[in-house]
Amino acid sequence: MGMSKRELKKDLLLEAGLGVMATHGYNGTSIKDIVDAAEVPKGSFYTYFKSKEDFALEALERATEARNQESRALLEDTSLPPLERLTRYFRDYTGACDSGVTGGCFIGNMCQEMSDSSEVIRLKVRQLLRNNTEAIEAVLEEARRQGSLSSPQPSSVLAEYLFNAWEGTVMRMKAAKCREPLDAFLALLPIVVGQVNAN
113 alpha-carbon distance from chain centroid: 15
Instruction: Write down the least CB distance from residue 185 to its own copies, Å.
Output: 6
Among 64, 148, 155, 169, binds its own copies (CB under 8 A): 169
- Helix (H) or strand (E) holding 129, with range, is helix 119-145
- 80, 88, 140, 188, 197 from 148: Cα distances, Å: 13, 16, 9, 16, 7
Q: Reduced to 3 states, what is the DSSP secondary structure of residue 115?
A: coil
Which one-letter amino acid corresponds to residue 55? Answer: F
Q: How many CB atoms lie within 10 A of CB 42?
A: 12
175 lines the binding site for its own copies (CB under 8 A):
yes
Residue 195 interacts with its own copies (CB under 8 A): yes or no? no
State the Cα–Cα distance between residues 90 and 88, nearest whole angstrom: 5
Show contacts with its own copies in window 111-130 (CB under 8 A): 111-117, 122, 125-126, 129
Q: Which range touches its own copies (CB under 8 A), out of 35-43, 44-52, 55-63, 189-197? A: 189-197
Residue (48 or 181) nearer to its own copies, CB: 181
User: Nearer to its own copies by C-beta: 63 or 129?
Assistant: 129
Which of 40, 194, 195, 196 forms a contact with its own copies (CB under 8 A)? 194
Q: Quote the CA–CA distance of 91 and 85 in Å, as a whole number.
A: 10
Residues near its own copies (CB under 8 A):
23-28, 100, 103-104, 108-109, 111-117, 122, 125-126, 129, 151, 153, 157-158, 160-161, 163-169, 171-172, 174-177, 180-181, 183-185, 187-188, 191-192, 194
